Structure 1
Amino acid sequence: MPAEIRKVARVILLDPDDRILLMHGYEPDNPDITWWFTPGGGLEGDETREEAAQRELAEETGITDVELGPVLWQRICSFPFDGRRWDQDEWYYLARTTQTDTDLSGLTGLEQRSVSGLRWWTCSELSMARETVYPTRLAGLLRTLLDEGPPRTPVVLAPEIA
């Protein structure tokens, strides 16, 4: 494991119809390489993961009317992106909102070069998706969440190393 691992807060944001909001990303130098992923990002300064989750959600989606819930999942991942390797310790928070209009104006420079939009997905749409989605197995994880509710303690997902 690398010495410097980035602490990340991600958000499983559900609307009143249990749709999940995902971001459509791409490699800045190769727009043909695309994937869907959950909003969120690294902690800044001395903020908590909860604070980072809410800040990132507001910046990346414009959604601020959010009820932040428990940590659902945790995972370690490592992947190449924008010319460097990212080693991350990710915590996924459940959140609910009635605010479904999104706004990308708060994206950082890197995000502006690597995010093409947002989309609300139903669980069945996600399970039929042929595109790459992170974390992998998100459709099944979401189905379990919707059927059984949040886990008592966070589920540790298998590490993903790309």
Structure 2
Amino acid sequence: MSTPKAREAARAVVLDEDDRVLLLRYDEGGKVFWATPGGALDPGEDHQTAVRRELGEELGVTDAELDPQIATRTKEHLIQGETVRQIERYFVVRLSAGRVDPSRATQTDGILAWEWWTLTDLNATDQTVYPVGLTGLIDHFLSSGIPDAPFAFTD
């Protein structure tokens, strides 16, 4: 068995003025889930540049300021029929809800919906949300700020 190809990715934990988190809804081959905005790095791109590009492509936001990296996640999964080992870095982005305008998005990549979630709603949902443990990460960030070292998701 061969080792899956590594795929570097950058993701945004987008929080609004009411500490709600923005999640995007996807349906990949009948598997419906919610996830944070983001995606793979383009050749020669660093993680921060990739997050900013993805925010423009998926949310129509082109001038977001990023907080430092707060988490990492490594997960093997299928991308277009190929198993990859995705290595993600997560950054907090603070945006007012009114700045997010999906009608200005340039590449929606199969996004079915954009929705702001309270942490209470996120804790109570029976829908699939990635990464697993997102609520705990946001709770920690809101109470303690940027961690000394990035949190490592284990899902």
Question: Structure 1-normalised TM-score?
Answer: 0.85
Number of aligned positions between the proteins: 152
Question: 1:20 & 1:102 partners in 2: Cα distance?
Answer: 15
Name the SS of the counterpart of 2:58 in structure 1.
Answer: helix
Q: What 5-or-longer segments of structure 1 have no aligned partner?
A: none
Letter in 2 for 1:120: W
Shift in alpha-carbon separation, 1:64–1:99, aligned structure 2, 3 A:
farther
Q: Which residue of 2 aligns with 1:107?
A: 107
Partner of 1:88: 86
User: Percent of counterpart pairs with the same letter?
Assistant: 34
In the other structure, the counterpart of 2:141 is 145
Counterpart of 2:23 in structure 1 is 22
> Hey, what's the Cα distance between the residues in 2 that align with 1:2 and 1:49?
23
Alignment of 1:1-150 (within 5 A): 2=3, 4-27=5-28, 29-30=29-30, 33-100=31-98, 101-103=100-102, 105-107=105-107, 111=109, 114-150=110-146
Deviation at 1:4, TM superposition (A): 2.5
Q: Which runs of 5+ in 2 are unaligned?
A: none
Give the 4+ runs in structure 1 shifted more than 6 A.
Answer: none
TM-aligned CA deviation for residue 140 of structure 1: 1.8
Q: Distance in 1 between matches of 2:62 and 2:111?
A: 19
Q: How far off its partner does 1:103 sit? A: 1.2
Measure the CA separation in 1 of the matches of 2:95 and 2:3.
36
Alignment check: 8 A CA contact 2:16 2:97 kept: yes
TM-score normalised to the size of structure 2? 0.89
- Note the C-alpha offset of 1:76: 0.6
Superposed CA deviations along residues 1-31 of structure 1, whole A, max 9, x for unmatched, are 936301100000111111111100111x42x
Deviations 1:21-58 (A, max 9, x none): 1100111x42xx21000000111121111000000011
